[in-house]
Amino acid sequence: MSEQQEIDAPVPSGDSSGKDHSTRLLMGGSIVAVIAVIGIAVSLFIAFRGGDEPLVPAGDQGSQAITEVQNTQFELDPYFDSAGRVVYVPLDERGVALPQSSPAANRSAATAPSGIMLQRVHGNMIVPFSTSDGPTGFSDSGVATGFARTPQGAGLAAVHYFGYLATGNNRIEMLKDAGLVEDTEGLLAEQIKYNAAGVGRANPDSSPYGVFEMIKVNYNNDLARVHLGATIQMKDGRTENRDAWTDLVWRDGTGWVLKIGDASTTSMKVVPDFADGWTSWW
């Protein structure tokens, strides 16, 4: 994290104190600034693909599962998001857990989960559901659970749970109430305090969340590091490729849990490109 420079993201006019505070946190490697900037990044990212190929290949969004559930559990019409991906709107704001089937044997960590469907949950969070690696249910607080103990399940869980961290205190509380985040150094309390102050790059309650386009998973059966990638349009017209990563640990009886400790467990950096193991699942 010490190699990073300040993220060039919008700051409310006249709020130089918030900008200075966020800069200090970034330079010090604080997870607070990382989460704050991720909240901005997911609302600004633009995805680039080679040529004119579609973002979602035909037949890659779990058409069979969609057919089984859409008539009664989703609004009539899906829509395209800003990256051209098909998004379904469930009638239940938590989302719809799709029917599950066993994945293909000997999948690599880069292989996409089967039957990916992007759903808009809680009004403005776009997150992926699959027919092979979960989720299979929801916590009492409304957070998706039941992600498989696989690289794909860890990746899906990270996309969901990162979203709750980056979209305001009300959603952080949802994740905490579900027991899906471990904060060994009290950094989440610092983030909550920063959000509540409403300055600089604080994330208001119920901020929007759009799924990062690129993903890479470093997997162990008990521990996974999930990298999420996006190309960000800067204020001066430049673009930068951002790699935001977080660690998840497997807890029997709970499943994948976000582990927040220091800059080694959750951080962000600029990368030259999305080669070397990066892929897109949606």
Question: pLDDT tens across 220-264, in order?
Answer: 999 999 999 988 888 898 999 999 999 999 999 999 999 987 666
Is 231:271 a contact under the CB 8 Å cutoff? no
- Which of 106 and 15 is assigned the larger pLDDT? 106
Reported confidence tier of residue 108, pLDDT bands at 50, 70, 90: very high
Report the mean per-residue pLDDT for the chain.
80
> Residue 16 pLDDT more than 60?
no
Reported confidence tier of residue 169, pLDDT bands at 50, 70, 90: very high
**pLDDT over 70 percentage in the chain:** 74
pLDDT at residue 219 in the model = 97
Those residues with Cβ within 8 angstroms of residue 132's Cβ, 6 or more apart along the chain or in another chain: 100, 101, 102, 103, 113, 114, 115, 148, 152
pLDDT at residue 38 in the model = 59
Segments of 75-180 assigned E as strands: 79-80, 86-88, 117-121, 125-129, 137-138, 144-145
* Whole-structure pTM value: 0.81
- For the ranges 3-12, 165-174, 253-262, 264-273, the lowest mean pLDDT is seen at 3-12
pLDDT at residue 267 in the model = 81
Residue range 160-168: mean pLDDT, rounded: 93
pLDDT at residue 7 in the model = 37
Query: How many C-beta neighbours within 10 Å does residue 124 have?
Result: 13
Q: Which residue is listed with tokens 């809680």? A: 122
At 231, list the tokens.
Answer: 């190309």
Query: How many C-beta neighbours within 10 Å does residue 199 have?
Result: 16
Q: Is 186 left (phi over 0), alpha (psi -120 to 50) or beta?
A: left
pLDDT digits (tens, 9 = 90+) for 115-155: 999 999 999 999 999 999 999 999 999 999 999 999 999 99
At 167, list the tokens.
Answer: 């979209």
Residue range 13-34: mean pLDDT, rounded: 37
pLDDT digits (tens, 9 = 90+) for 33-60: 566 555 555 544 444 433 333 333 333 4
pLDDT at residue 178 in the model = 98
> Residue 11 pLDDT more than 50?
no
